[in-house]
Amino acid sequence: MSERKPGVHVVTTRRQTKDRAGVTHLLRRSYREDGKVKKETRANLTSLGSDLVNVIRAGLQGQDVGVLSELLPPVQSRPHRPGVQRPGLACRCEESHRSEPRSAARA
């Protein structure tokens, strides 16, 4: 008997239009229903990037992917948008800087 393969696989679709090209990576599952092959999309992996999709594809095929931090380039984290503060900081600032109500401070 043959060994069972994983229930999901990665499908890469490339679309070419006049002015644009697009690549989509989907995590899909194939199954049979009434003698016909059906496909179900489990996840859209496009936003993960090609490097991570290749690692996922290799892992699903049974290859040893090793430590992910060695295979993928570092990603720089982005700061919060200007004007967005963490809730704890806003409370401390108001208590320390304002001793009188806002309407009295403007007068």
Instruction: Please check whether residue 76 lies inside any domain of the structure.
Output: no
Express each pLDDT in 12-46 by its tens digit. 999 988 888 889 999 999 988 999 999 999 999 99
DSSP state of 9: E
Does a structural domain hold residue 54? yes
Q: Considering the domain boundaries, does residue 104 fall inside one? A: no
- Tell me the residue range of the domain where 5 lies: 1-66
Indicate if the pLDDT at residue 51 is higher than 60.
yes
3 within some domain: yes
Strand runs labelled E in the chain: 9-16, 21-33, 36-44
For the stretch 56-99, pLDDT in tens is: 888 888 887 777 666 666 666 666 666 655 555 555 555 555 55
Residue 51 lies in a domain: yes
DSSP 80: P
- Total number of domains constituting the chain: 1
How many whole angstroms separate alpha carbon 60 and alpha carbon 68? Answer: 14
For residue 1, the model assigns a pLDDT of 44
Per residue in 90-106, pLDDT (tens digit) is 555 555 555 555 555 55
Classify residue 91: in a domain, yes or no: no
